[in-house]
Amino acid sequence: MVGVKLVNLALAFISSILVARSLGPAGYGAYAFIMSLVSLLALLSCLGLPELMVREIAKYEQSREWGLIRGLLHKSHLFVAGIGVLLMLLVAMGSLIFSTSTELDRWQLLLIALPLIPVIAMANLRTATLRGLRRVVMGAIPEMVIKPAAFLMMLLWLIFIGKATAETAIVAHVGAALGALLVGILLFRRVAAEKVKSAALEYKNREWLSALLPFMGLAGVSFLNVEFINIFLGFSGTNQDVAMFRAAANIALVVALPLALIESVISPYITRLYHAGDLGKLQKLTQVASLAALLTSAVPAIVLLLFSTEAIILLYGSDYAPAFSTLVVIVLGYVIVNLVGLSMQLLYATEYQASAFRISTYGALVTVLLCSFLIPFFGALGAGIALGFGKALRAALFVVEARRRLEIKTSLIW
């Protein structure tokens, strides 16, 4: 799974550089804004259902309750399809009302991107289904490997024939997303289609609905990150501001990547040690993991802090040089997170998910407030400060709560 994530990040990073260089700051900013907005609308279509489906399908698969799996799939797809169509109609009406005759109109681009709303939502359901059936890597491959690879190939062709624009880039993204969804459907049929298809429909509507509410909250809070800031910046700033922030955030991910990968691998071991009552080993494990993440991220962090302008020009071109200050503040935020270490996962992987959700909510509110005050005055730099400070504050709150709940030293500096 770590390998899949690395491939996904590499493909996405290469594509972002090519799009940014071929479209320029104005075109790339409009493209990035539309893609973030579509991601938000697809999230609204799902309303936390993928996270719920992973848990419920895993439970029903263990007890071989195929009828409940079929019923959950039936209800979730009807729900997502209905919400998706409604959102598409509303957004289409709004786009037609606010559309202008300018050459690079965001609302016209949004009309082109509308098919992505149901496609992304359905793909999320398919990925969640495969994860619940213990096909984690299989479920990730369509969205994390096939889609970005297909988009990169189409993007290279558009650049080669001289047709790379914001419009054609979005069309390529739609095509890649459709292809990945079809592959996901085929993979699901290969794994469990017969077992599920032959079962009688069973429902637990009230139970599913009551369980969905906290997952809706978690899904919403998790979105209040780069994508949300991108949208906020797009509405209150310019396309150039969005482009500068996006370029800086993409490069800064190199510093955040080690801790994110270690968290994804170490989570099951945290759960096992916690339920075994071996807090001594749990403390040692988390400290070693935190040290590994810190050391791995130290070199790219130092390089980006010392040579931020050169890194941006090398990767994205001289047009994006003004993003150097935004890159610095985001990297500083990630450095603080790495210093704090592995604390968020300690709460999510144990029995303190309610505390984790509460802290995530506080961090999200701080990020929203910072965006409201800083972006109108400082543009991309204000967005970078909101992102970096919000992540650092949330990490500090996580480590305090993890130490209070587990009564162990969970990081290198606390």
Cα-trace Rg, the chain: 22
Mean pLDDT of 195-201: 70
Name the residue with tokens 């999230």. 43
At 7-61, the pLDDT tens digits run 998 999 999 999 999 999 989 998 999 998 898 888 888 877 887 787 777 777 7
Does 269 have pLDDT greater than 80?
Answer: no
Mean pLDDT of 191-203: 70
DSSP code for 142: I
Query: Quick one: pLDDT at residue 220?
Result: 65
Q: How far apart are CA 32 and CA 383, in angstroms?
A: 14
Instruction: Name which of 335-339, 356-360, 410-414 the model is least confident about.
Output: 410-414
Query: Quick one: pLDDT at residue 247?
Result: 93
Distance between first and last Cα of the chain? 30
- Distances in Å between the Cα of 145 and the Cα atoms of 6, 48, 140, 308 are 10, 23, 8, 29
Q: Do 158 and 172 touch, CB atoms closer than 8 A?
A: yes
- Distances in Å between the Cα of 236 and the Cα atoms of 6, 40, 322, 336, 378 are 33, 17, 19, 28, 11
Q: How far apart are CA 279 and CA 407, in angstroms?
A: 9
Query: Quick one: pLDDT at residue 408?
Result: 67
Query: Quick one: pLDDT at residue 145?
Result: 94
Mean pLDDT of 153-165: 94
Does 405 have pLDDT greater than 90?
Answer: no
Q: How far apart are CA 205 and CA 30, in angstroms?
A: 41
**How would residue 173 be classed by pLDDT, with cut points 50, 70 and 90?**
very high
Query: Quick one: pLDDT at residue 23?
Result: 92
User: Tell me, what amino acid is at 26?
Assistant: A
Least Cα distance to 166 among 22, 312, 36, 380 occurs for: 22
Least Cα distance to 7 among 134, 213, 153, 147 occurs for: 147
CB proximity list for 3: less than 8 A, separation 6 or greater: none
At 65-80, the pLDDT tens digits run 878 888 888 888 888 8
Query: Quick one: pLDDT at residue 101?
Result: 61
Sign, CA torsion 281/218/121/80: positive
Query: Quick one: pLDDT at residue 286?
Result: 81
Q: How far apart are CA 245 and CA 206, in angstroms?
A: 43
Sign, CA torsion 78/80/82/88: negative
**How would residue 171 be classed by pLDDT, with cut points 50, 70 and 90?**
very high
**With pLDDT > 90 as the criterion, what percentage of the chain qualifies?**
32
Query: Quick one: pLDDT at residue 14?
Result: 94
Least Cα distance to 155 among 294, 15, 264, 31 occurs for: 15
**How would residue 102 be classed by pLDDT, with cut points 50, 70 and 90?**
low
Does 399 have pLDDT greater than 60?
Answer: yes
At 277-331, the pLDDT tens digits run 777 888 888 888 888 888 989 999 999 999 999 999 999 999 999 999 999 999 9
User: Tell me, what amino acid is at 284?
Assistant: K
- Selected residue with higher pLDDT from 197 and 113: 113
- Selected residue with higher pLDDT from 231 and 219: 231
Mean pLDDT of 367-374: 90
Instruction: Name which of 235-244, 249-258, 278-287, 295-304 the model is least confident about.
Output: 278-287
Query: Quick one: pLDDT at residue 224?
Result: 61
Mean predicted lDDT score pLDDT of the chain: 84
Q: How far apart are CA 308 and CA 247, in angstroms?
A: 12
Q: Do 118 and 45 touch, CB atoms closer than 8 A?
A: yes
Does 333 have pLDDT greater than 70?
Answer: yes
